[in-house]
Structure 1
């Protein structure tokens, strides 16, 4: 059954991989070292919740839930024992609760109650709990009579009154999917950032393991490129903090993303309009503001040395702190782009390199 447009998908309307998201799965080493402390934290929180503040689980008669603001705890309704919860660090099931699916019930319940808690990575046990939580969402949606899309149902079969995945989905399967998804999301962000650019220097494959560049990383790129040319620099800023540095080449402005005309210029990524749910996978910011009603201020400098001198003398219009950070990037962090594909593409675009840029690698 198709889902109406204009609203977010509910958990049972998402494929398993889409529900889990692009968070990677770790080996759980850090989790294991903190597990005992996390259980003590959850136990103490559970002890502080009186019986009258515990509520029946919406589906299971053997469970209750409650907890102070920011916590969700599960209890055995018969004994009152705390079975698990979302503690200070991560969700945890108490010892002796094996077979009761507490991890999956915690995740299902927090989503049923509308509690938002992002996942940046999974442990092995956390992955399995989330995988089971998706099955619970689908099963219970069907029991309520809610519509479940065909593409979601195609992933499951009924066995003895329970859903079971048709094809196993293990951590290694998710890691492969998540890597491809992070690459897709990153490329989509880059495409939005560079819409209208004449040339593009960055591809998602260049950013594996690192975020989309912000202002200071871009400054390091500009410094690496400026060392090979006498072209002027242009500082575009909005107030004393938001600043984005470019090399001026004719009527084009060149930065780490590519080369754009002034009327296609996007203000730097630090001036974001809020975060996307997938921000953690791609560096924590959204596409840059385009063509604002009040255009940003710009300053032109004959070369890198003139900009550094102006920054040292406080003549850039930037705050002392921001100017210091840019100077540090221009003089210390420049090595990050040594032999970087973006630098090679920029050098070719500016005629500084005999090699031609490969448009298929970054278009």
Structure 2
């Protein structure tokens, strides 16, 4: 197996950069970000666990040198902790399958990088059964980042059916040709349910 930068393996069976966007997202529903009381309690528990969990060995993250990731397994639960590479401050992670970015760091693409990290580590720590709105946006962004990075590091491994959703500029920037937000995803799910 040939491995390139960031773990972009040419023979990876679940390689997101080989999977069209809709197949990558799967037919999962999107819920409101504030969710139910149970959702809010789970998010609070996850934040507390990520803040208080002992750190394992952290590894630099080549795609974002400002981030460091550590992983650990407790029983059957995989945990990802993300830290700032300069201050070593914890900025988010995933615990029991739920990714969380701490408030001061939201909007910096950390959620998408948690998804990317999980994906290139065979889905470690994340196993969505539905999305929050912010989790959905992070997953769409993660797919775009995977495609962009794979085009840079192993372009022959990105199939045409994946590229049909994207415009690729000469500078290596990848953008969706058409918006793919909640409305588009919900309409796609509705079409699927009527088949």
The reply to whether TM is greater than 0.5 is: yes
**TM-score, normalised with respect to structure 1:** 0.45
Residue 161 of structure 1: how far off its partner (Å): 4.6
Give CA deviations for 1:120-148 in whole Å, capped at 9, x if unaligned: 10010010000001001101101112321
Relative contact order (C-alpha < 8 Å, sep 6+): which is higher?
A: 2
In the alignment, is residue 64 of structure 1 matched against residue 63 of structure 2? Answer: no
Rate the CA distance shift 1:89–1:8 in 2: closer, same or farther, 3 A.
Answer: closer
CA shift at 1:162, angstroms? 2.5
* 3-state DSSP of counterpart to 2:180: coil
Partners of 2:72 and 2:14 lie apart in 1 by: 28
Q: In 1, are the aligned partners of 2:46 and 2:98 still within 8 Å (CA)? A: yes
Alpha-carbon spacing, 1:180–1:10, altered in 2? closer, same or farther (3 Å): farther
Q: Normalising by the residue count of structure 2, what TM-score does the alignment of the two structures yield?
A: 0.80
Pick the aligned partner of 2:25 from 20, 23, 26. Answer: 20
Once the 2 structures are TM-superposed, how far is the Cα of residue 180 of structure 1 from its aligned partner?
A: 3.7
What does residue 121 of structure 1 align with?
Answer: 130
Question: Following the alignment from structure 1 to structure 2, what is the Cα–Cα distance between the partners of residues 90 and 9?
Answer: 20
Match of 2:55, SS state, is: coil
Once the 2 structures are TM-superposed, how far is the Cα of residue 154 of structure 1 from its aligned partner?
A: 2.0
Matches within 5 A, 1:319-330: none
Report the equivalent of 2:4: none
1:144 maps to 153
Q: What CA RMSD, in Å, does the superposition of the two structures yield over aligned residues? A: 2.2
> Aligned residue for 1:49?
55
In structure 2, C-alpha distance between the alignment counterparts of 1:103 and 1:71, rounded to whole Å:
14
User: Structure 1 stretches of 5 or more lacking a match?
Assistant: 1-6, 185-363
Structure 2 stretches lacking a partner, 5+ long: 1-11
1:157 aligned residue: 167
Where do 4+ consecutive residues of structure 1 move more than 6 Å?
Answer: none
**SS of alignment partner, residue 27 of structure 2:** coil
Q: Within 1, Cα distance between the matches of 2:17 and 2:97?
A: 27
Matched residue count: 174
More strand by share: 2
Structure having the higher Rg? 1
**Residue pair 2:46, 2:95 contacting (<8 A) in 1 also:** yes
